[in-house]
Chains A and B, each alone.
Chain A
Amino acid sequence: GAVVSQHPSWVICKSGTSVKIECRSLDFQATTMFWYRQFPKQSLMLMATSNEGSKATYEQGVEKDKFLINHASLTLSTLTVTSAHPEDSSFYICSARETGVEKLFFGSGTQLSVL
């Protein structure tokens, strides 16, 4: 079955640094990828929709200058948390929809801890 690889699985960084999270569709092409954030014991909240070759669409309340999304190819989307702060500590998970197929596949998630 289709696989979405998300890397890294966890990262600890200092406040003020930037962190890049990669989301790759391994055996299918994904024109659309989604980024979610999950705080402890909370639901998954959509942050943005990433479209290959165009700008991402951000949900209300999500700072696009802070959470940079790049979807330069049909198999890779990246989320960069810029100038991370402790309140950015969260579980980030991506999902990808195989082009032409109505099914979403999720990455394994990235636990970000900002000290």
Chain B
Amino acid sequence: AQKVTQAQTEISVVEKEDVTLDCVYETRDTTYYLFWYKQPPSGELVFLIRRNSFDEQNEISGRYSWNFQKSTSSFNFTITASQVVDSAVYFCALSEARSGNTPLVFGKGTRLSVIA
């Protein structure tokens, strides 16, 4: 069975601080996808990244970076120089890659509050 654990329920940081959101996953599949989504107060899900299990390169996109460690089944997300607009709930998710009919399994989310 697949499982995604986001141990941090809520995090508060002061603006301009760096913050790392943890994600640990479980799956029996050798091929899978990992995702991060942002959910602002308005509710919609904003896609941030998708990572194939075969690609362990870390990725940086502006102030966002992701650290994929297959050995520890972790896919952590770091925001550098955080801003108030980063305040949201962030979800890590996992999907099998065996077929096109597999949904995402979400973690419980981490609520990030960035204080000015």
Q: Is the CB of B50 within 8 A of A43?
A: no
Nearest chain A residue, comparing its CB with the CB of B45: A106
Name the B residues within 8 Å of A42 (CB-CB).
108-109
Report the stretch among B22-30, B74-82, B97-105 that lies at the interface: B97-105
Shortest Cβ distance from A45 into chain B, in angstroms? 8
The proximity string for B residues 31-52 relative to A, scoring 1 for CB distances below 8 Å and 0 otherwise, is 0010101000001110100100
Shortest Cβ distance from A44 into chain B, in angstroms? 5
Q: Which of B45, B47, B97, B107 contacts A102 (CB 8 A)?
A: B97
Kindly state the interface size class of chain A when it binds its partner: 20 to 34
Q: Does A89 contact B (CB under 8 A)?
A: no
Binding site for A on B (CB under 8 A): 33, 35, 37, 43-45, 47, 50, 91, 95, 97, 100-101, 103-109, 111
Binding site for B on A (CB under 8 A): 31-32, 34, 36, 41-46, 49, 51, 91, 93, 95, 97, 99-100, 102-109, 111
Nearest chain B residue, comparing its CB with the CB of A93: B45
Nearest chain B residue, comparing its CB with the CB of A104: B104
